[in-house]
Chain A
Amino acid sequence: MTAHHRHESIIWLGAAVAAAVVLFAFGPGIALLGTEIMIMALFACSLNLIMSYGGMVSFGHAAYFGLGAYGFALAIVRFDVPPALALACGPILALLAALLFGSLCVRLSHIYFAMLTLACAEITYAILFQAYDFTGGDTGLTRFVAPRFGLTPQLYGLVVLVVLLLSLLILRRLVASPLGLAIRSVGEDPYRTAALGYNPRRVQLAAFVVAGGFAGLAGMLFSVFHGNAFPDYAGLAFTLDALVMVVIGGLHSFVGPIYGAIIYLLMKTFISRYVGEWELVVGIVLMAVVLGAPRGLAGLAARLGIPSGGRKS
């Protein structure tokens, strides 16, 4: 291990300890909120991989989040899979769906790509919504496991923190790997990438599947967190949530979505407690970010001298 790597590991460790302290120091209410933020941060990071690095804007990313939740829930409810094994079913189902839908979607680009991802997500949503006998329909699945498997909010938060950190490390390794470079390259200029000997569609599909898998992981964690699964988890509202988190946090930044998740969820949670018109506030913040700080919070932080600069291009 080089000195550089050791240094980096210490910093991640420090961050993890800080987060763990937060989870344990302020009671279960804060632990619950912190856990939700971490799960949504993972979801947003997975979207960020294809958006910021792969240059693909998806309007249907929640499909994989929702399938992550349902893969887990259905494995238990319909197939009597032991819960420990069912945990793996969520991300795997999401991954497979991403492979299927992704192979269709990557044939298109820009808004057409986005609209086809939307269509795939809406079809997923409709199946979850309509197949009562299998998925429970719009009334979803509840009470099939104890929420958080009965772990205390703090302990489950710790589990999610560990999963989040591992996922971030994997994603971070990925974007620095040759495949990651190829993904960035396709995001910037598919023609040049093709000229370099890569098959741009394959590269995009790889990114799409990885993103779908991590979204599924987040969805599975969310399903365990609440002990339920609803078609809404695959719906447009969740996709929009993730898009907004990425933009507020900062497009083209690796940790931007984490900032975004923190800010957006705090806004959504607390503003709606005092103001009925919470969406108005979110709208104004969003507009201010796009006009005033198009690199999001990560970009702002960089400008203030906090080291969090954007992705190099």
Chain B
Amino acid sequence: MLAVQVVNGLMEGMMLFLIASGLTLIFGVSRIINFAHGSLYMIGAFLTYQLVPMLSDGTLVGFIGAVLLSAIAVAALGGIFEILVLRRIYGSEELMQLIITVALVLIIRDIVKLIWGRNDVLVSMPAELSGALKVADAYFPIFQLAIFGAGLMVIAVMILVIKFTRAGILLRAATDDRGMVALLGINQQTIFTSVFVAGSFLAGLAGGLAAPFGNINYMLDTTIIVGAFIVVVIGGLGNLYGALAGALAVGVLKSMGVLYYPRLSMVLIFLIMAAVLVARSLGRAGVTR
């Protein structure tokens, strides 16, 4: 029983991480608090819904193809937004950057409503991923196991890119000291744009991958963004491994909480974040910046 809940929590945590990864990546480099990350996720889900029947409904190949195409489209959209809008306000206060992403949330939500309507739409589960592994009495759904695997793959790719490629080195350098990278003659603008595109890709990917898991409608953005933010904050903004640990911890704690006091789940995630933040602030004297 406990084991089942823990495994469940880990799988839920990995889904959270998939959403949070792009968010923390973008923040780490550009210091942009991207409220529209959930909206990009939502577009990824809707595009997958649109593409799956065009490719091959109900098959794994069709699903993966649709997800990748959707993620690429969302990445392109993110790139356009970065170039046309975000680029103009990197110098201004963080509040302005935040508000502009809030504006984007409002705009995307209504456009999505205009295109796909108000009712829930669904993506059918690929045949290869439906069903569950049965161990003793417990069911472990293949789809969630596959998502867990996809999450591990995303982490592996991210680590490889960050550790071993020139882009990764630049990215790490930019996360540490943006000014220094600029001084070295690297075009900072290119880095920001690439990172935003990569982050948007991850948002689209997460949205596409999760599409068969539940309902898709125009409120998906707000449904997921707060949780993703909290995971990123718990892990430490810009800290990829922190986000992973935070996501898994949140998933497991929530899953365990259901066993003992389900009504707590309304605030559980906020309590965890508050505890982490307060703990972090304790022992610090004077001013923190």
Contact = CB atoms under 8 A, between A and B. Distances in A.
Asked whether the complex places CB atoms of A and B closer than 8 A, the reply is: yes
Contacts, number: 125
Chain B, interface SS category? helix
A74 to B, nearest CB: 20
Contacts of A291: 85, 88-89, 100
Interface in B238-281: 263, 266-267, 270-271, 273-274, 277-278, 280-281
B187 interface: no
Contact of B107 (A107, A129, A240, A283): A283
Contact of A240 (B89, B102, B263): B102
A107 B270 contact: no
Interface residues of B, number: 45
Contacts of B287: 109, 190-191, 194, 200-201
B40 to A, nearest CB: 15
B152 interface: no
Nearest to B230: A115
B102 A286 contact: yes
B106 to A, nearest CB: 3
A116 B277 contact: yes
A279 B282 CA distance: 40
Nearest to B233: A115
Contact of B105 (A116, A190, A247, A283): A283
B110 interface: yes
B289 interface: yes
Contacts of A201: 287
Contact of A108 (B99, B104, B114, B288): B288
Interface stretch (B58-66, B90-98, B140-148, B200-208): B90-98
Chain A, interface SS category? helix
A62 interface: no
A111 B273 CA distance: 13
20 contacts: A57-B98, A104-B281, A108-B281, A109-B287, A110-B94, A115-B230, A115-B233, A115-B277, A116-B273, A200-B287, A244-B102, A251-B95, A279-B109, A286-B99, A286-B100, A287-B85, A290-B89, A290-B99, A291-B85, A294-B89
